Amino acid sequence: MQFLCLHGAIGNIDNLSIQLAPLQEDLARDCAASFHYINGLVQIKPPQGTNIPFPPPVSGQKELKANIWSYTGFEEYFGAGPHYRWAEDGGVAEESMISRVRKIPVGQNPEDVMRDLAGDREVVWKNHVQVMQYLYDTLEKNPDIGGIIGYSEGASIAATFILDEQRRQEETGRERRIKCAMFVTGWPPINPGKGIVLADQDDDLIDVPTLHVVGANDPFRHGAYALYDVCDPDTATLFDTGKGHTIPRSGLVINELGDAVRDLIAKSEEES
């Protein structure tokens, strides 16, 4: 199966392909899967010279390591440019979200955390129609694509697209192309008219098999769990790397993740 791969905010094809290279090599051993990468539509620059303190520790741990907050500045994390993101929100989201994520109350469920993070700020997605059409056009040009992989913001975009495909099938009978998805440290889908899609307040459910790669040390992990909650519990699988807001790149975890992707593909073939 070929997967369409969507990078995170302030990312690009080169950086994501480097991050996914070990997994891609593992899946290539038995020709289980191949990857197709595209850039987001919005070109941006990483914040310059920003010193980021550690977030509050996970319960039972003294400090967090191996996540984006351990860097002294964003430049080292995001790599060489040009950089892109998917959703055009006027640039209002980043700083408010960074400040709020360090104040997440302990013990809340993922949906409550997402509501706290969003606050009373209106969800703005100016280029929603353009992004969805860009993904449809990409599928038309690449008929072998049957799955989707999204990292961070790319996971939210991928989830949003799956729901859009579901809607189009119901309204027009158009055959759906995406049969399964892997979400890496992602957030829930977005309804441009309502905001973040959450399991306890929305009827939308992602019904294709999904694999959710999460990190116990990820300060954004509540978003990944909220995304898991809007997927079919019968075909959704959690894969905890024990790391942070990163993609696994070495060790036994790569072989285990590769096998998890193979299981994901097998589930999608059973469903179709």
Catalytic residue positions? 152
Q: Where are the alpha helices (DSSP H) in 196-244?
A: 221-229
Which H or E run contains 157? helix 153-172
**Residue-by-residue DSSP string for 239-255:** EE-SSSSS---SSHHHH
Q: How many Å apart are CA 118 and CA 112, to the nearest integer? A: 10
Q: How long a stretch of residues is the chain?
A: 272
CA pair distance 4, 115, nearest whole angstrom = 29
Q: What is the dihedral of CA 159, 160, 162, 166, to 10 degrees?
A: 140
User: Under 8 Å CB-to-CB from 243, ≥6 apart: which residues?
Assistant: 66, 67, 215, 216, 217, 218
In whole angstroms, what is the distance from residue 122 CA to residue 189 CA?
Answer: 15
- Rounded CA Rg of the chain: 18
Residues 260 and 255: their CA atoms lie apart, in Å, by 9
* Structural contact between residues 125 and 156, judged by C-beta atoms closer than 8 angstroms: no
